[in-house]
Amino acid sequence: MTSARADWVKWGENDQFTYYTDDAQTKAFGDLRRVIEMQDKKTRDSDGMLSQRAVNEYDCKTRRQRVVSAMTYSGRMGAGKVLSQSKAPSNWYAVTPGTAGEAVLKFVCGK
């Protein structure tokens, strides 16, 4: 699936990013939620990145998350040149209170 076909829903914003999820693609597997997320930067970073699309998993029971895959782009909303990509899942880590990860966890887990 490409970002052009995604049904992005804005769920948050701060001074650095606007955050979106593709709610139509969120999948539930017991306590696990697999979510496609987009982070759109307000300003280009030193590597030229303006957006990042990631597939993340959230464990609603243990309040952990991990990145399954991610790509960074030179344009907004996943447009432009692919600058980097990772297809290897990260290790699980605790969701930190007050972060975007916690906001997504609450949104997709309902708590």
Domains for the chain: give ranges and CATH numbers: 3-109 (2.40.128.710)
CB contact at 8 A, 73 and 79: yes
- Predicted confidence band at 2 (pLDDT cuts at 50, 70, 90)? very low
pLDDT more than 70, % of the chain: 95
Quote the pLDDT of residue 1. Answer: 39
Counting every residue written for the chain, the total comes to 111
For residues 63, 42, 52, 1, the Cα torsion angle rounded to the nearest 10 degrees is 110
CB contact at 8 A, 50 and 78: no
Assess whether pLDDT exceeds 60 at residue 4: no
Between CA 62 and CA 55 the distance in angstroms is 19
Q: Tell me the mean pLDDT in the region 63-89.
A: 96
Quote the pLDDT of residue 5. Answer: 62
More confident residue, 69 or 108: 69
pLDDT more than 90, % of the chain: 75
Element (H, E) at 11: strand 8-13
For residue range 22-71, list pLDDT tens digits in order. 988 889 999 999 999 999 999 999 999 999 999 999 999 999 999 999 99
